[in-house]
Amino acid sequence: MAFIQAGLSEFNNDDMDGFRARAWRIVSGNAKQDDFAGTFPHACLTHVMASFRKVALEHYNTNFEFGMYCFSLILNSVSLKKASQSLIAVYYVLSSKVLDQKTIHIQHMNEINLKISNFPIEIESIENCYEDTYTNEDQSIFAENINPDHHTEEDFLNRSTINEFSHWSKEILQNVHEEIDESIFVEVQGNKRYSTTIADKIQKLFMPTFPLWSNLLLGDLSRNGMSDVYSSFKIPNKIERGNSGIEKRFQVLKDKCVL
């Protein structure tokens, strides 16, 4: 995280809050002329997935593989619209105690399962994609509790939920809860994927930095708007995947990246 902060400061004269505000303008179709200038930092895929793996193992162990795939669906979003669709589906499935074949719940479950089926490996083997080396490292930006004596004020600001992406995703989660509360279920089976805990962990620990670790800012950013600012965006001449040996084991995600 220190390298990302340093890059934003050195090349963009910016901090995490400024980066998030700029990212939101870009993906919401309201980019300013200078929003495409500077760097677009991106967190290491291995470390992000390893961080969520720790959360899933602790709070969603009985549905570990499904949880990892749900997170990967969110991560692979290439636009705000697609991210909203994935979040609604994931939050709905995680937040409903029952599985009603006659309601929108089954539609969201089918949507998730369909997207999962398009990944290149079987869901049962996803746990083989990680190494303990990465799960044991300190990932304070995604940790639930961090020691104030060991981290700077900037570290805490990076985790702040007072930003556009947190507000957007929190509103989605609240709308899902309201829709479920208003639903009437009669003699329906229980939902084995239910876990408001894991939904809350995604919302509080990961969504505040969504543009930093998702595919939202990868590739041709002109896809996000129709104004002259977007049409004049210059696509990078060369974009390469990271060549770390460990990241090659994440083909389930990397093959879906928009590069």
- For residue range 89-110, what is the model confidence (pLDDT) as tens digits? 999 999 988 876 655 667 888 8
Neighbours of 90 (CB within 10 A): 26
Contact 54, 136 (CB under 8 A): no
Q: Between the CA of residue 42 and those of 29, 166, 219, what are the distances in Å?
A: 20, 18, 12
Distance of CA 26 to the CA centre of its chain: 17
Q: So what's the pLDDT on residue 74?
A: 94
Q: For 12-21, 82-91, 124-133, which range has the lowest pLDDT when averaged over its residues?
A: 124-133
State the average pLDDT for the chain: 78
Question: What type of residue is 161?
Answer: T
Over residues 186-233, the pLDDT tens digits come to 667 788 999 999 999 999 999 999 999 999 998 889 999 999 999 988
The pTM of the full predicted model, rounded to 2 decimals, is 0.77
Domain ranges of the chain: 2-254
CA distance linking residue 250 with residue 51, whole number of Å: 14
Share of the chain above pLDDT 90, in %: 41
**193-207 CB burial, b ≥16 within 10 A, e <16:** bbbeebbebbbebbb
- Answer whether 218's CB lies under 8 Å from 259's CB: yes
In angstroms, rounded to a whole number, what is the distance separating the alpha carbons of residues 4 and 139?
Answer: 13
- pLDDT at site 127: 45
